[in-house]
Amino acid sequence: MKYNKSSLLLLAITTLFLFSVLSSSFTGEQKIFSYLNLKKSFYQLTDTVLKLESEIKKIESEIEKIENSKEYVKKVLKDKYHITDSNERIILFSE
């Protein structure tokens, strides 16, 4: 699996933060609740990183298609941005 630098940095910072909390003593209820909250945050951040990595893969795929296919570029320009060739017209139908 290919990781991007920002996701690895976020994961490393989160892991270091959790380890620093774990290395402190666990005396008192407040420490346990803090640990549980941090653990929950860690899993949420991990989930966010995975979702962002998936989005990055989709965007990289889109970039590759755009770089390698003029036809795909034309399709995107027409479908997403409604740009036409000089000999084309856009006809709008009202309901």
Q: Is 84 a member of any domain?
A: no
What digits encode the pLDDT tens for the residues 47-81?
A: 999 999 999 999 999 999 999 999 999 999 888 88
**Cβ(26)–Cβ(32) below 8 Å:** yes
pLDDT of 47? 93
What digits encode the pLDDT tens for the residues 37-48?
A: 899 999 999 999
Q: Which residue is listed with tokens 């549980």?
A: 36
Q: Which of 39, 42, 61, 38 is nearest to 50 (CA)?
A: 42
| Cα–Cα separations (whole angstroms), residue 14 to 18, 38, 88 | 6, 9, 54
Q: Is the pLDDT of residue 22 over 80?
A: no
The domain tally of the chain equals: 1
Segments forming the whole domain that contains residue 25: 5-67
**Cβ(66)–Cβ(72) below 8 Å:** yes
Q: Is 47 a member of any domain?
A: yes
**Cβ(4)–Cβ(56) below 8 Å:** yes
> Whole-prediction pTM value?
0.53
